[in-house]
Amino acid sequence: MAGVSYYAAAAAGTGRPCVVQFGAAPNRSRRVSRTRLRRRNAGGRFGLDSNSELQVDVKPSSGSMVEIELVATNTGSALALHWGALQPGRSEWVVPPAGMRLPEGTTRTHDDAALRTPFKTSFCSRFPSVYRMNSEGIHSILSFQSGSNSTLKIEIDNPGLESIEFVIVDEAQNKWFKNNGQNFQVHMRPPAGPHHQGQQHSATAGSIGRKNRDVMQLLSKNASTGDQVNEATGTTSAKCTVLDLFIKSLQEKHGSQVLCKKVFKLGEKEILALMSQVQGSTKVHLATDHVEPLILHWALAKKAGEWKAPPPGIVPAGSTLLEMACESPFSDAELNGLHHQVLEIELDEDSYRGMPFVLRSNQTWIKNGTSDFYLDFSRRTAKSSEVTLPFSFSPILAKNLLQKSSQNHMLIFFPCIKGTSDGSKGTAKALLETIADLEEDAQRSLMHRFNIAADLIDQAKDAGQLGLAGLLVWMRFMATRQLIWNKNYNVKPREISQAQDRFTDNLQSLYKMYPQHREMLRMIMYTVGRGGQGDVGQRIRDEILVIQRNNDCMGGMMEEWHQKLHNNTSPDDVVICQALMDYMSSDLDIKVYWDTLNKNGITKERLLSYDHPIHSEPNLKSEQKEGLLRDLTNYMRSLKAVHSGADLESAIGTCTGYTSESQGFMVGVEVNPVKGLPSGFPELLKFVLDHIEDKSVESLVEGLLEARAELRTLLLSSTERLKDLIFLDIALDSTVRTAIERSFENLNNAAPEKIMYFISLVVENLALSTDDNENLLCCLKGWNHALEMSKHSDDQWALYAKAFLDRTRLALATKGEEYHGILQPSAEYLGSLLGIEQWTVNIFTEEIIRSGSAASLSLLLNRLDPVLRNVANLGSWQIISPVDVAGYVVVVDQLLTVQHKSYDKPTILVVKGVKGEEEIPDGVVAVLTPDMPDVLSHVSVRARNSKVLFATCFDPNILSELEQNKGKVLSLKPASVDISYREIPESELLVSSSIDTLDGQKTPSLSLAKKQFLGKYAISAEEFSDEMVGAKSRNIAYLNGKVPSWVSVPTSVALPFGTFETVLSDKINKEVAQKVKILTEKLDQGELGALNEIRNVLLNLTAPTYLVSELKEKMQGSGMPWPGDEGEQRWEQAWTAIKKVWASKWNERAYLSTRKVKLDHSNLSMAVLVQQVVSADYAFVIHTTNPSSGERSEIYAEVVKGLGETLVGAYPGRAMSFVCSKDNLESPKVLGYPSKPIGLFIQKSIIFRSDSNGEDLEGYAGAGLYDSVPMDKEEQVVLDYTTDPLITDCSFRTSTLSSIARAGYDIEQLYGGSPQDIEGVVKDGKIYIVQTRPQM
């Protein structure tokens, strides 16, 4: 290993200089959240500036000794190393203690947090600088400089140190050299796990070294709507172009539906052409950001290639009619300060097929390359062919889909989200119908199919992700033999491969241009095969003749196959060739031939169905075996080169190059290697091929993943032969999956650590194939950390690993939902158009998922789950609300779909999905689910209040048994971590008091006194009273000044009861009040759709001047910032947030909840509590009596990273949970680590909290029904728990959780020992309480 130069990330090896900052200090923050920004490398070459470089080499020495050698070239005379060392999991720099001998010239910084060691500038010495660091520090130093190269060697003999971190400083110029803005960080001892197994590619007989790279170097994070991706840096910037604004203004101001659109490049500028329809009028709009004045030279066409002058009645003002065309000037326009040119043409009929045009700027003609521009009217996406979203999408998924469907000015604005009567919802309908129209032609041959697909690329691209989904569905139907490959048409193999090549070249172009669609494009390419120009396809035709001639097999089956190959080769030929090879290898056993065919979907009937059918079985001789096996093996390469997108050997050969070695074959068959492959990459691929059949697959999978990681940089660049690299990556991905599946049997009795290791491998593979993979990479880091914890016998390792198992499952479920939402509607609609068998359509998305790594990962997680639960003593259940019950078993898919249903007899719901915000239906006595809502979520509180058994089941076998009892009567008895159940006769079933009776007396009516406006629009905390505000505000005022000094309460003011009603009745809001009155009457008549309309109407309220002035006075008087001081826009943001809080009185859940308990909704009054947001490190909810057990001596709490909305707002995943005895508040016990993938963060802001008079009624838990709205939008951050000290630092965790528990205990004491439900945050170690109320 000596002399090995490790690889580096980011700028390393790219020749790109590092960021140079003048007067900027290094990143030495002790906050762990900053450490994730560091660039972690194990060495490499870095640019310091345009003339200087830094070379870092890391070499293991004897024992635990590690040598780090640094060489800086062409540097100044005042260069110094500013540095320290790092321990595992810690962010603080370790420096030698005071008094220890340090290298010559070394000084400590003023805060004693770092060392600074000057480089020597001597040009004569021949000895390197050597620093020796052992467990006690540095004890010897020599230094030298060779020419202009400053060299530094550090020898570290301390296993407790993981890495060194440093920056280079030129003290003469006060210039800091950093690694792309971050500190350099060089690992010495990579942690165990799939990413840190070695340092080089030199392969031993059975293993391959993994390069020591940071997991986050594999990050793929695409831009959202309106964002543009900087291809060089991968960063995004929100930038809405004038053309985007133009489309938006058409739809918002004029209600236009976009029927079709196209964006063309004009050098650095663009021109948008679209057809729209509004109120029966069809128009063509053109808009461009071109600076010089333009003339449109245009015509209309009713057939292809036609230029026909438009009727005089439709030409725009100022136009000039010519014999075959018209010239019309553009007009200047402006949107949001952005200048552009526009032109509008209103059409007189619907029979036009399109509009050809060119542009003229002064005397210069502008064309679309060498062709005319053309807007194709036939590609309409509205009217009868809207692009619509499925009605069943969740709002988050729908929003995600809308975001992903647009980028680079190809925005698709959906005019409506609705269902359609023909089953086309959630599809690019126009594209699918075009495909169906062309299918008959596509069935003539694969050449026709691939050429048609290539022609449809633009239409698919314009329809965004749904368009590409349509192409994928069509190609998948083809690949799975649901469509006819050949019908009465003879075509040469080279013509098929050329058509494939054309199609895949188009896909390659999209892959370069639209990184947000790369995952979908990979899936399409997987189904198609590589293709190829020139002799790639022709070899299929010619080489079969050579095989027949060389091996004397000119007749029979070989001749019939030859005729098929000559006229219509297809992917079936790969299987037929393999069947022949297996037949020869088995000493001519004809059963083996048929087994191979049948296992791959080729029956005798299919062989007979070809245009050139294969009637005969092979009838060869043993003396032909050697020659045929040799030649068929080489022939298989040609077949796979054309037809197989996932064959590893052919993909490697195409990228690394090969020359045909078969005897008598075509002379000069040669494939050149792809240029720019990483050093050692061919040897790595050779290792993979050499071990492809290994029974023990760890080393093989490590090699495959290392190859994929190495490929990643090339796949993100515009490589000349990008397509070949994509197919190689697809093949590597597929081989990982098959290798993992092959290992399942060996894992039957494996230790949990080995299963965890395999999980980490599969998670890495899935991340490498996934767009927006940050969550998966954080899961991967979690698994690696769990392996480290297990290795060091940490007693929390199983509990920690269980959290990441849950998070990984959640990631898979989210991905499955995304696939189903995007692909399944297209499969169903296109399947109906093409007559595909229904069973094939029904399982389309399921089969897509099964064909990837997600299915393997799910199996591994299922295998590990019971092991972890056993080690962590978790049992099979988590009991959220413990109640003994009996009832009839009913199985439902989602609790959301039945939350407002009333069951007329005691019902036990077995529910597949519970999000956390649902209501418990009337008549339900138990809810059992595999989902994992937080114990303190809304639905959990509802269950406990209603005395409903609520529990999460971790064992799928138990859940399946319960589902099989559907319709039966069961008795359920919960214990601490288990539920016992038995079937009982109906006669034993007693109707409990919680069940609805026929006369409706189950739920008593509650009275609610309407609050009056007492003349003040805003009040300070000192004025809070029962008549002015709700319990939320009053409790905060009560706590202020009473809590211990180490607990803070945010300053608060409020908009009191009656303020909303007064604002609504103000004459400036007369129109809004009239609309609300009409909608309220509709609501009273049972039209629940009016709820959403009321909420939207209320957003049009205008703030009276009295309200603005009084609120400003109260906020400033309480020391709070006034939003209006930052500009009128900031006040408008605050006012919108206030209106949203008021409007939440009419959200569906709250309205139906009040109706359920017979509260008079009109009497519900809404005060608004105004507080300054604490930008939390953590947020928590405390129940001072354990809600799961009812134990009053025990505090239960849940903690999330960031703001508390992810906890109380039912975001996916579980919070960290712990209990703490009130007799021993210094010893909290962690019950579960967090699995929430998302954290919410916000900077300086104001939050407006709902505070109604109906939230804390006795017998009615109204808390959480209404909205609290921050003035600013929270930032969603994918959480990396491996850098969170609450997870990784035991002392920090104990201290923080103990402080939370103590705060809960002290507040409970302030209320005379009455159990409290408390919300708060932790910021820089300090506790803030934002609200408390009686625990329900």
CA neighbours within 13 Å on the CB side: how many for 1085? 9
H/E element holding 1139? helix 1128-1143
Which contacts of 1007-1013 are long-range, i.e. CB under 8 A and separated by 24 or more positions? 1008/1159, 1008/1160, 1008/1163, 1008/1164, 1008/1253, 1008/1254, 1008/1257, 1009/1163, 1009/1253, 1010/1162, 1010/1163, 1010/1165, 1011/1057, 1011/1058, 1011/1165, 1011/1253, 1012/1057, 1012/1058, 1013/1056, 1013/1057, 1013/1058, 1013/1059, 1013/1061, 1013/1062
Q: Is 1278 exposed, middle or buried (0-12, 13-18, 19+ CB in 10 A)?
A: middle
Residue (of 115, 90, 95) closest to 105 by Cα position: 115
Q: What is the DSSP string of 530-580?
A: ---STHHHHHHHHHHHHHHHHHT--SHHHHHHHHHHHHH--THHHHHHHHH
Q: Measure Cα distances from 151 to 6, 126, 164, 993 in Å.
A: 17, 11, 16, 83
Helix axes 648-656, 625-643, angle to 10 degrees: 80
User: In residues, how long is the chain?
Assistant: 1336
State which amino acid sits at residue 145. Q
Which two three-digit tokens encode residue 1254?
């109906």
State which amino acid sits at residue 757. Y
Q: Whole-angstrom Cα distance, residue 534 to residue 671?
A: 12
Q: Whole-angstrom Cα distance, residue 1153 to residue 1132?
A: 31
Write b or e for each residue in 822-849: b if 16 or more Cβ atoms lie within 10 A of its Cβ, otherwise e. bbbbbbbbbbbbbebeeeebeebbeebb
DSSP state, 18? P
Q: What is the DSSP string of 1175-1217?
A: --SEEEEEESS-TTT--TTEEEEEEEES-THHHHTT-SS--EE
Q: Which residues contact 543 (CB under 8 A, 6 or more apart)?
A: 634, 635, 638, 662, 665, 666
The one catalytic residue in 785, 938, 1161, 1183 is: 938
Is residue 82 part of the annotated active site? The answer reads no
Alpha helices for 165-297 (secondary structure H): 242-254
Backbone dihedral region of 914: left (phi > 0), alpha (psi from -120 to 50 degrees) or beta? beta
Contact by Cβ (8 Å): 516, 224: no
Q: What is the DSSP string of 1260-1309?
A: ---TTSS--EESSPPEEEE--GGG-HHHH-HHHHHHHHHHHHHHHHHHHH
Q: Whole-angstrom Cα distance, residue 138 to residue 140?
A: 6
Q: Whole-angstrom Cα distance, residue 329 to residue 293?
A: 8
Task: Give the SS3 label for residue 1087.
Answer: coil
Residue whose tokens read 């909608």: 1079
Q: Measure Cα distances from 1282 to 185, 210, 775, 783, 1234 in Å.
A: 17, 21, 13, 9, 11
DSSP state, 68? E
Residue (of 1257, 1034, 1268) closest to 1137 by Cα position: 1268
Residue (of 181, 139, 29) closest to 93 by Cα position: 29
DSSP state, 1082? H
Which two three-digit tokens encode residue 457?
């690329």
The residues carrying an active-site annotation are 938
